[in-house]
Amino acid sequence: MASGFVQAGGGKIRRNNNGAIVRSALLLSILAVILIFFVVLTIISSNNLMNLEKTSVSNVPSNVLPSYSTCSFESFDGQTNLSGWFFKTDNPITTVIVVHDAGSNRLPFGVNMIDLIESLLNNNYNVFLFDQRNSGESEGDVCDYGYLEWQDVLGAIAQVRQISVTTNVVLYGIGTGTTSCMIAYDKLPTSNLTEADLNNYSSSIRDLGFDRSYIIGMIFDSPAKNSDDYIIARVEQNEFLGSITKNYVPYAIRISAGESGAVNLVAEISRLPVPVCIIYGGHDTYIGADRISQIVEERNRLNSSLTVSRMIPGAGYLESFRLGRESYIETVMNYMQSYFV
């Protein structure tokens, strides 16, 4: 009797073990399906964001634009042909290179940008406008939110060195153009490095013939605290279940561009050893006006004597020029004339 009881009990244990295995396998299967769905959704969102449709450059009558020359040049990668406009003034002090936002082009503020161009030219500053990859009239199939476009910035600087008599440039990053500018700056060597230190840089960087000292100032319109923030905001607003994938899509885009890490823009901008101008909208809910104000505060804490800033009340993300054009242009010109005369 005792022996039979043990066998019966043992049978029940085997049946219970089989049930636990089935339940575990089912749970793992469900988790695998969820994971696959999550990965597929992240890939789809990444492709959507990277394959933005090119925006055509506004048709501006030739008698409205100041005199300019059309430029065609290569990005630093040597594989992407870019297009731009060079506006030249007499006896220029420096050249301002405008780096537009993702999904925009060389005229980020449309035809009304002519007012800013003319103000710069009238005060002896050359202006260089160009389309980053996959925008306007430039080549390229994907948008990488600055993670590839930094190469376009280096290409633009190299082009300006060839066609302008100025010996330095001011970079003007708008939206994700901030990321493009900062990564380009970080990729360059500092000045007065030893030959041994320069050998730590690739030969293509060394062959450019310029270093960080060639960039004497930076203007930022709506800088984010982190380079991924621009992508996160777009995923949240435009992608299915973006609130779930928002922190993973930036990683996928960075990996596709060959950049492993995001850029801590607040730290980078705060410590720049050159004069910096920051303009942003007081009603920016995309990047966050409060977050941008933190960049301004940190910049002023570390480099107040080299900082100009202006918040345009009521303006949202990249609306500062449209809603406060006079204040915007005044801020840019005050900055330029304070540091570069």
For residue 88, pLDDT over 80 is answered with yes
Check residues 23 and 69 and name the one with the higher pLDDT.
69
State residue 14's pLDDT score.
60
Alpha carbons 45 and 39: distance in angstroms, whole number: 10
Q: Worst-scoring range by mean pLDDT, 39-43, 171-175, 313-317?
A: 39-43
State residue 40's pLDDT score.
87
Check residues 30 and 258 and name the one with the higher pLDDT.
258
State residue 11's pLDDT score.
52
**Helical segments of 129-260, H only:** 150-163, 177-187, 195-198, 203-206, 229-238, 242-245, 249-257
Average pLDDT of the chain, as a whole number: 93
Check residues 87 and 32 and name the one with the higher pLDDT.
87
State residue 242's pLDDT score.
86
- What does the pLDDT look like over 129-143, one tens digit per residue? 999 999 999 999 999
Residue 4: band (very low, low, confident or very high) from pLDDT cuts 50, 70, 90: very low
For residue 15, pLDDT over 90 is answered with no
Residue 19: band (very low, low, confident or very high) from pLDDT cuts 50, 70, 90: confident
Check residues 179 and 5 and name the one with the higher pLDDT.
179
Check residues 118 and 12 and name the one with the higher pLDDT.
118
- What does the pLDDT look like over 280-295, one tens digit per residue? 999 999 999 999 999 9
